[in-house]
Amino acid sequence: MNRFCKVSLSVVLVLAALAGCSKRAPEAPVAAVRPHQLTAHGDVRVDDYYWLNQRDDPEVIAYLEAENEYLEAMLDHTEGLQDKLFKEMKGRIKKDDASVPYFKDGYFYYTRFIEGGEYALHCRRPGSMDAPEQVMLDGNGMAEGHSYFSLRGVEVSPDTKLLVYAVDTVGRRFYDLHVKNLETGADLPDVIPQVTGNAVWALDNRTIFYAKQDPVTLRSYQIWRHELGRPVNSDVLVYQEDDDTFTCRIGRSKSDRFLLISCDQTLSTEYRILKADQPDGGFRVFQPRMRDLEYHIDHQGDRWVIRTNLDAPNFRLMESPLDRTDLVAWHEIIPHRTDVLLENVEVFDRWLVTEERIDGLSHLAVRPLDGGASHLLEFADPTWSAWIAFNPTLDTDKLRFGYTSLTTPMSTYEYDMATRARTLLKQEEVLGGFNSTDYVAEYLHVPARDGVLVPVSLVHRKGMMKDGSHPLLLYAYGSYGYSQDAGFNPSVLSLLDRGFVYAIAHIRGGQEMGRQWYEDGKLLKKMNTFNDFIDCGRFLVDRGYTAPDKMFAMGGSAGGLLMGAIVNLAPELWEGVIAHVPFVDVVTTMMDDSIPLTTGEYDEWGNPHDKTYYDYMLSYSPYDQVKAQDYPAMLVTTGLHDSQVQYFEPAKWVAKLRVKKTDLNPLLLKTNMDAGHGGKSGRFRRLEETALSYAFMLDRLGITK
């Protein structure tokens, strides 16, 4: 049978192994070929698998299920290893763990887990941690009967008597808002269906503002006002974002005095403000949107604090009076610096704390408002991640911050900004005999082909010989300016203890080395992202950390696009590649503004309705660039209900690879039929997917235990 022929799906979905022939390799599903022409700028592309974009078509579901059965048949011999890995990773996690409590409005709030529980309990105690506990929400009980469960938007009313929360049981990020009476324990009849889950209270304790998404594009574009006790159909639309390249959300200043509507686009920001004790009032624009002007605001005393890129690519800090918020009234607090990226700011009554990035690494800077000198917190690891934690109180000298590294578990500190005393409040407990001194972290600077130095963070067991004998997993993301910091992942220990090196490539497209690092990895410079990753891989081979027959690559979402590009550009460099929810059909998706998230991303990828961008995007689009060549072993995952990268992108990609590739390496597609972009829900269930990925790699290396 010619597998390129257009044939019935029922004929090609043959799984020989499932028919009782245990010694014969199962036959891979081959999707029917149904050519569909796509024309733009006089160029005609033929998409043989365009038909797979019909989520409700039984034939599509049958194909996805057949791919799942094929994966199970191909990896059935690793079931024992998967189970061992799952139990190993689960065994490192403290089953009855709890977060560090924080104090607000008379209560200590925290989350905790119970033995055997997949989801957190949201709890509080009045006045003291010795007081009786009130369980506000029990995620385990709420998740019963659902294969997927997500809880977000948990916020207590200002008078501490009510709780708003949002639940999604499908995975497509449509949430239902609920309100609970914390005094009686009963839910109110107010239920607001199919919204984003973003909601905040006004100070009157009876008004809730919430964001709603477009039902087709999923763009968050409306802010509504709901008054408790009134029918949902009488809710008031207070703002609608009509520019389809912007999204909007609702928040509240740290002082609780102002409600904030933020409207964001890749290159522009606009805020609207309203006093939180006047929920029936009208929001006013803080500073009208301008192309290439980004700003983020918070309230501190008698001024607004503004982090902005106004004449400052790496951002600077400015202020304005409460009643004058236009650009003319902005005055500088912290100037722009070419070697420091200003990423975030936290306000206190007597302090400003900023998150800053220097040479790819995150730093925290403390600035007293009395005119004293600022100082940086110091960290000892070669590579790390530090961030401002939740600090709800303005009138305090205590800063809470988080810290982790490749060898240091997640840690929460309290820092006295006046005395500079640092207190460890909690460090994630890693069970199973973990000792950080058994591992070594390194921070390298790898020369890319154009001479730019790309940072790489990596970790391995102490005493490792750099002789090319060790397997290595190289991970990256490289888009949207999202920086991938080095942090502790207890699951990675299962690889390190089997001889792996784990590495993170801080490639262009992120923002690790400042704003220009991002600018040099998007639009018509996107190829830098892919070349950086490949160059990092080759450097690690040249320096003896690994060898091509032992090196694996992994990325997800936009990082999955990275995976799709590097297997087309340098397939010989990888023993295996794992692409999670990969964005691989770049041109077709970006040409269709009905697909979720498309219009808001023209400034990230380019608008292919412009031929210049069309041609450039086509030159790297993984789906369009699949060719007749050898490819490494590949594991591709997706979720049927994914709202960010639609399931049909990876499904079509795998279908096309099957008929094009010239090797005998396995090509496996796993579709989670009950989840979306984030995969399985639950504290432990998601480890099953990690175990599958790890078993796939170990199996390629012949490691069975």
Residue numbers annotated as active site: 557, 642, 677
Q: At what angle do helices 648-660 and 58-74 cross, to 10 degrees?
A: 60
Sign of CA dihedral 217, 218, 220, 226: positive
Rounded distance between C-alpha atoms, residue 584 and residue 559, angstroms: 10
Between the alpha carbon of residue 534 and those of residues 445, 454, 552, 558, 651, the distances in Å are 14, 11, 12, 16, 25
- Number of Cβ atoms within 10 Å of the Cβ of 443: 18
Between the alpha carbon of residue 509 and those of residues 154, 559, 598, 622, 700, the distances in Å are 32, 10, 18, 17, 30
SS3 letters across 25-58:
CCCCCCCCCCCEEEEECCEEEEECCHHHHCCCCH
Rounded distance between C-alpha atoms, residue 169 and residue 265, angstroms: 29
Query: Which token pair is 143?
Result: 């998740």
313 neighbors 515 (Cβ within 8 angstroms): yes
334 neighbors 347 (Cβ within 8 angstroms): no
Chain length of the chain: 705
Amino acid at 108: F
The gap between the terminal CA atoms of the chain, to the nearest Å, is 39
Helix, strand or coil, per DSSP, at residue 362: strand
219 neighbors 643 (Cβ within 8 angstroms): no
- Short-list 146, 212, 209, CA closest to 176: 212
Rounded distance between C-alpha atoms, residue 59 and residue 74, angstroms: 22
